[in-house]
Amino acid sequence: MNVYPTEKIRNIALIAHGGAGKTSLTEAMLFNSGATKRMGKVDEGNTVADFYPEEIKRKITINTTPVPCEYRGFKINILDTPGYADFAGQVKEALRVTDNVLVVVSAVAGVEVQTEVYWDESEGIPRVIFVNKMDRENANFDKVLADIKEQFPENIVPVQLPIGAEDDFKGVVDLIQMKALLFEAGSGKITEAEIPADMMDEVESYREQVIEAAAETDDDLLTKYLEGEELTDEEIQFGIKNAVVDGTAVFVFCGSALNNVGIKPLMDFIIDCMPDATHHPEVRDKEDLDKEPLAALVFKTIADPYIGRLNFFRIFTGTMKSDSTVYNPNKDKEERINNLLLMRGKDQIQVPELHPGDIAAVTKLSETLSGDTLTEKANPVVLEGIDYPEPSLGIAIEPVGKGDEEKLSNAVQRLMEEDPTITIEKNTETRQTILKTLGETHADIIMERLSRKFGVDVNTNEMKIPYRETIKRAVEVEGKHKKQTGGHGQYGHVWIKMEPLTDEEFVFEEEVFGGAVPRNYFPAVEKGIREAMVEGVLAGCPVTNFKVTLYDGSYHPVDSSEMAFKMAAILAFRKGMEEARPVLLEPIMDVEVEIPEQYMGDIIGDLNSKRGRVLGMEPRGKHQVIKGQVPLAEMLRYSIDLKSITQGRGKFHMSFSSYEEVPAALADKVIEKAKREQEEK
């Protein structure tokens, strides 16, 4: 593959709801460019973009895959993205580095949920729409076009109309050139023909919309249009390009990706009317991008146990050459660039250098990860990173093999390098390792990758709630540890007062008079309390929000020791817990749920059913944000519940707020379950 200058490069991300046909469209574009000799099919597991075992098995796109092709002396960097919410982080990566967006909409299903979500995410990026699957049963272009116009507030303008539909779909009418284009299914071969007479009224109406959208972008064109003069095809194309770049119109194409119908005109439009990298907001004020200091953003990382890291990047300014050194300001680390690779699926193509706007990959960078900038140490530039979605579904994982804890930890760390939307944490209270993901399918994929790539099989369990215990009343109790053996005995004796505390977790004080307990044993008493408070008397949970005062006791000049007083304190604590009306506490979370307004009633009702308290609401852009507090025990699967209620349109964030007493009926169940688990051990 040749090295291309910036003006000859087009970067375009394909976004849509899953199943709309992004990967099939990618296959058709590759075939039309000559990059492949035959079109692969998702159902057959032989597409260029979906080559990972998990993708082939599920027949869905899981990873954003850069797929470059050469067409008409230009290079198109296609970014084929996933269509399911569980892999939204991959879409974020693509949108961060692309210059254009191609939105794929099914002619049967219309605008689906993730298309809506990703449309909002791509705001500000030049967009074009392709209505796919025109040859399918129940395909209806007019209905889908009305749906698009209803869902999206932008100026939606068709530049093509379909000739026929379903089994009778033959081709399209080009509203710019005013020609009918008939396609040979599969080959993409085009035959020009006269526009069907019965379509002329509709064609002329829509062509007027195209001309109007083009004219409105330029004062001279608008004057000519308003004065009733005909615009030339070149003037219309000039205006269309302006409209795409400025976002004043979104143009609509139609066809069938699977049968390669209508794809070449779409590719021509990408070349002729979609902007190159010089129009990107971060560089459009610079005159010569090649002469600027190097600034490249790493947007994707693959962690391979055999070849190491593979980092994908997009160059914004400057040039990058093989056998060079770059600087990572995020890590304050110089990195060696050995080979520059153009990746087409799993195939690698080496190139000597790259210019601004291009997308490529490099291997064996030691510390560079997604979101990092590669630049020059002498003229460092730091690019904005990637705003990844926050993982919200937590599951407990443990290795199947005994002693594989470290192996599991290392494997998850490697996966976190390639997927920043997962997190791992060790909960010391519940003794669980918690993996957080964007959803159930995402979690399943992570499990498969742990096994396939790193040889670590895991068991999964539901997250345990880190309950705590506290006391409700003040008590005074005695603890005496007395043991006589052959030599020195053991003697420790304390009186302590335990009382509830609201604003602090634990306070230890002493009020001993007359040396009843020597001062040098005070630390041992506190140590004993701290050791004992790790395990309460109800469900074995840590004890919190209480104060202990050591106020009396006795000692033996020979048999007393720090260990004896520590044991006496433990005995006193356990006795005090029994008498001080212990209760169970649960973590309460501050929750923010962002949703379209039509779901507010359902969400508020659902939060109330989860023992939640709704504290307020406020608008945020097009959505509403509901703020409240909900027990963590009710939120373990909330990402699944929210997805179900809002059909995937909602998102939420939660953070720890405080601990509150568990209602008695629920507390009894928790305590009973804890005792059963203890007995089983």
What three-state secondary structure class fits 605? helix
pLDDT at res. 679: 79
**Is the backbone of residue 434 left (phi > 0), alpha (psi -120 to 50) or beta?**
beta
Q: Which amino acid is at 125?
A: I
Q: Which amino acid is at 22?
A: K
Q: Is pLDDT above 90 for 2?
A: no
Q: Is pLDDT above 90 for 621?
A: no
What three-state secondary structure class fits 225? helix
Q: How far, in Å, CA of 657 to CA of 665, rounded?
A: 23
CATH of the structural domain 393-461, one choice from 3.30.70.870, 3.40.190.80, 1.25.40.10, 3.30.420.40:
3.30.70.870
Q: Is pLDDT above 80 for 119?
A: yes
Q: How far from 532 is each of 394, 527, 541, CA to CA, in Å?
A: 30, 9, 11
Angle among Cα 274, 217, 77 to the nearest 5 degrees reads 5
pLDDT (tens digit, 9 = 90+) per residue, 386-406?
Answer: 999 999 999 999 999 888 888
Q: Is pLDDT above 80 for 417?
A: yes
Number of H helices, E strands in the chain: 16, 34
Q: How far, in Å, CA of 240 to CA of 251, rounded?
A: 9
* Whole-number average pLDDT of the chain: 93
Q: How far, in Å, CA of 400 to CA of 407, rounded?
A: 11
Q: Which residues fall within 8 angstroms of residue 267, CB to CB, at 6 or more apart?
A: 29, 32, 33, 71, 76
Alpha helices, DSSP H, located in 600-654: 600-609, 638-646
Local confidence band at 187 (pLDDT 50, 70, 90 cut-offs): confident
Q: How far, in Å, CA of 517 to CA of 569, rounded?
A: 12
Please give the helix or strand (H or E) that residue 507 lies within, else none.
strand 506-510
pLDDT at res. 383: 96
Q: How far, in Å, CA of 203 to CA of 195, rounded?
A: 9
Q: How far, in Å, CA of 355 to CA of 335, rounded?
A: 19
Q: Is pLDDT above 80 for 584?
A: yes
What three-state secondary structure class fits 581? coil
Q: Cβ(304)–Cβ(453) under 8 Å?
A: yes
Q: How far, in Å, CA of 283 to CA of 273, rounded?
A: 19
The domain at 289-375 falls in which architecture?
Beta Barrel (2.40)
CATH 3.40.50.300 intervals, the chain? 6-167+247-279
Q: Cβ(67)–Cβ(30) under 8 Å?
A: yes
Residue written as token pair 């003697």: 491
Q: What is the dihedral of CA 348, 353, 359, 364, to 10 degrees?
A: 60
- The beta strands (E) that lie in 81-126 are given as 100-106
CATH 3.30.70.870 intervals, the chain? 393-461
Q: Which residues fall within 8 angstroms of residue 258, CB to CB, at 6 or more apart?
A: 21, 24, 28, 41, 133, 135
Q: Is pLDDT above 90 for 508?
A: yes
Q: Which residues fall within 8 angstroms of residue 87, CB to CB, at 6 or more apart?
A: 61, 62, 63, 438, 442
Beta bridge partners of 84: none
pLDDT at res. 285: 86
Count of CB atoms within 10 A of residue 234's CB?
Answer: 8
Count of CB atoms within 10 A of residue 19's CB?
Answer: 20
pLDDT at res. 404: 85
Q: How far from 326 is each of 320, 471, 600, CA to CA, in Å?
A: 9, 60, 50
pLDDT at res. 681: 65
CATH 3.30.230.10 intervals, the chain? 469-580
Interval 658-677 mean pLDDT: 92
Local confidence band at 622 (pLDDT 50, 70, 90 cut-offs): confident
Q: How far, in Å, CA of 453 to CA of 173, rounded?
A: 49
Please give the helix or strand (H or E) that residue 538 lies within, else none.
none
Q: Cβ(386)–Cβ(91) under 8 Å?
A: no
Local confidence band at 533 (pLDDT 50, 70, 90 cut-offs): very high
Interval 139-157 mean pLDDT: 95
Interval 497-526 mean pLDDT: 93
* 319 token code pair: 């040039």
Q: Could you confirm whether domain 6-167+247-279 is CATH 3.40.630.30?
A: no
* 227 token code pair: 């004065």
* 551 token code pair: 């106020």
pLDDT at res. 678: 79
The closest alpha carbon to 336, from 348, 326, 328, belongs to: 326
CATH 2.40.30.10 intervals, the chain? 289-375
pLDDT at res. 401: 84
pLDDT at res. 367: 92
* 194 token code pair: 């006269």
The percentage of the chain sitting over the pLDDT mark of 70, rounded to a whole number, equals: 99
pLDDT at res. 630: 98
pLDDT (tens digit, 9 = 90+) per residue, 279-332?
Answer: 999 998 898 999 999 999 999 999 877 677 899 999 999 999 999 999 999 999
pLDDT (tens digit, 9 = 90+) per residue, 53-76?
Answer: 999 999 999 999 999 999 999 999
pLDDT (tens digit, 9 = 90+) per residue, 336-392?
Answer: 999 999 999 888 899 999 999 999 999 989 999 999 999 999 999 999 999 999 999
Fold (topology level) of 469-580? Ribosomal Protein S5; domain 2 (3.30.230)
Residue written as token pair 């705590």: 468
The domain at 585-666 falls in which architecture?
2-Layer Sandwich (3.30)
CATH 3.30.70.240 intervals, the chain? 585-666
Local confidence band at 487 (pLDDT 50, 70, 90 cut-offs): low
Q: How far, in Å, CA of 334 to CA of 545, rounded?
A: 50
Q: Is pLDDT above 80 for 335?
A: yes
The closest alpha carbon to 553, from 544, 562, 565, belongs to: 565
Q: Which amino acid is at 177?
A: Q
